[in-house]
Amino acid sequence: MGQDEDMKTEECVCIAGKLRLLNRVVTSIYDDALRPTGMTICQMTLLTVIGESGLTTPTEVSACLQVEKSTLSRNLNRLRKQGWLEMLSDAHGSGQRLKLTEEGQAMLEKGKPHWIVAQGKALRLLGDRGVKDLVALAELVCSQQKNGL
């Protein structure tokens, strides 16, 4: 591809628009599969991250998922109102610790088979190569962002 063709691509393709489109399509696959549980993929992801850590902080979850603190706070409050999340005071009183309640752990377990179905659909849609490229690109971009590039 020559320089002129590269320039045309840069001018015609909005990277943000294409990423948002891909996000909406893939998110809908997971949300549709999880609908019988009453959860969204956003909630399932939060329950998974918090459940795997056992006891964590909002800052750690925010860093792990690259989510702004205000967005995370709103989503954590929804989980707490559902009875799926417990917000505990830190031992020094300087912050909050997050822990799944028994109901939250049960929801996580309830969602796993539905997530597996969605994962299969997303894999079929994107293909093995597409998933490998997506994972590699996400890791590269996150690494570069952490290093200030």
**CATH number, domain with residue 95:** 1.10.10.10
* pLDDT-derived band at 21, boundaries 50, 70, 90: very high
Tell me the two tokens of residue 8: 């045309």
DSSP state of 35: G
- Indicate whether 72 belongs to any domain: yes
Domain count, the chain: 1
Task: Look at residue 98 and give its three-state secondary structure.
Answer: strand
- Indicate whether 107 belongs to any domain: yes
Q: Residue 26: which domain range?
A: 12-146
Q: 92-121, pLDDT tens digit by residue?
A: 766 789 999 999 999 999 999 999 999 999
- Indicate whether 7 belongs to any domain: no
- Indicate whether 21 belongs to any domain: yes
- Indicate whether 1 belongs to any domain: no
- Indicate whether 4 belongs to any domain: no
